[in-house]
Amino acid sequence: MKTTVSRRTFIKGGLAGTVAATVLQEKKSQAATFEGYPDGMGVLVDLTRCVGCRSCEAACNEEQKLPQPEKPFDDFSVFDEMLHGQKRRTDETRYTIVNRYDVPGQEHPLFKKVQCNHCQEPACLTSCFVNAYTKTPEGAVIYNANVCVGCRTCMIACPFYIPTFKYSSSFSPRIMKCIFCYDTRLKEGRPPACVEACPQEALTFGKRNKLIEIGRQRIRETPDKYEDHIYGEHEVGGTAWMYLSSVPFDQVGFDTHVPKEPILNSVKDFLSIVPMVLTIWPALFAGFHLLATRKDWLKNKNEDTHEEE
């Protein structure tokens, strides 16, 4: 029977094929280098606007139902607190903190808000061997305490020293970290509590792609005011929370030596040898065994043939 293909079906099939090929190819390239979800949200932190009022800290504390701190949120003596020569950091009682930096040559001190930066390809997630972390399409890096074993590798891996451990608990310890208010707000498209609480508009919530444009625009419009760099655009492969500053970033507590690619990339050398060892070693060492014991084998064989004779 002769089969004919009409022009219409031919075009349909061709189109479907092309679409499938593009989609499949896209998936492939995504697996090789994941550049983040296209609609992922983020926050742009503008250090030039922050006045260190700590409203964000208070809002976070309330939203995440964290314990009341010893000093109230309107006590600014906390900016002078030092431990081991370090300024304040996140811990099991606070997911975000603001630190003050007195930069020489600046009229006003600068304030830097610290929280999870919600990386595009998070080191905590890629280092976790029980998949306790998830990067949601909305942009948040969330954590599942129900599967975590408490090995704290994520704390080793995080280049920003963000995840903290609830050391005080023996029976229900867990990782404590900012989750971008995912459960209560971000999921519904609302900005996190800290952003909403900011009276200075130092925190801008929006799609990450859009925020990079806004950041560039601010730098372009007032180049004297800003360093020509958006911290987090490329750092560790890009982060959802990004920063603008009026002074070099290393003067306000940023690690400018973090790699410009995801942390996972430095682990890939090892990961790629794993299948090699698994497949090559058995043959190689079985071969060594045969070579090493060949003399014994020949001897046995000769003895056998002698016996037969």
Partner 1 sequence: MRFFSHQRPEIPIVDHIKPDGTQWTIKEKLWLGLSSPEYFKQFFRNPINWLMIAIFAVGAPLILQRYIYGLGAVTHASNDYPWGLFLGFGLFGMVPLSASGFMLGTTVELFGRKDFHPIERLALLNGLLGYFFAVLFLEVDLGMWWRLPYPMFVSLGPAAVLFLVAWHVATYLSVQIAEVLPAFFEWIGWLKGKRIIRKMVLGLTISGIILSTLHQGALGALFTYAPAKIHPLWLSTNFQWIHFFCSSIFAGLSMVIVSSTLIRNFAGWRCDDVFKNSLDDITIKLGKGCSLAMITYLVIKIVAIAHDQEWAYLLTGWGSYYLLELAVGVVLPMFMFAFAVRNNMASLARFAAFISVIGIIWNRLNTSMIAYNWQLYPEIPHWKEVWITVTIYALYFLTYRFIVYRLPIVYSWKGEK
Can you give the binding site for partner 1, defined by CB under 8 A?
84-86, 89-91, 123, 126-132, 147-153, 155-157, 159, 161, 163-170, 173-174, 255, 257-259, 263, 266-267, 269-271, 273-274, 277-278, 281-282, 285-286, 288-289, 292-293, 296
Q: Which is nearer to partner 1, 91 or 102 (CB)?
A: 91
Q: Which is nearer to partner 1, 191 or 238 (CB)?
A: 238
Q: Which is nearer to partner 1, 23 or 130 (CB)?
A: 130
73-76 long-range contacts (CB < 8 A, ≥24 apart) are 76/52
Shortest CB 263 distance to partner 1, Å: 6
Shortest CB 115 distance to partner 1, Å: 14
Shortest CB 299 distance to partner 1, Å: 12
Rounded to whole angstroms, how far apart are CA atoms 255 and 162?
Answer: 13
Rounded to whole angstroms, how far apart are CA atoms 109 and 29?
Answer: 45
Shortest CB 277 distance to partner 1, Å: 5
Q: Would you call 71 exposed, middle or buried from its count of C-beta atoms within 10 A (0-12, 13-18, 19+)?
A: exposed
Shortest CB 109 distance to partner 1, Å: 22
Beta bridge partner(s), residue 249: none
Shortest CB 106 distance to partner 1, Å: 24
Shortest CB 173 distance to partner 1, Å: 4
Q: Which is nearer to partner 1, 15 or 130 (CB)?
A: 130
Q: Which is nearer to partner 1, 142 or 198 (CB)?
A: 142
Terminal-to-terminal C-alpha distance of the chain: 72
Q: Which is nearer to partner 1, 166 or 187 (CB)?
A: 166
Shortest CB 237 distance to partner 1, Å: 13
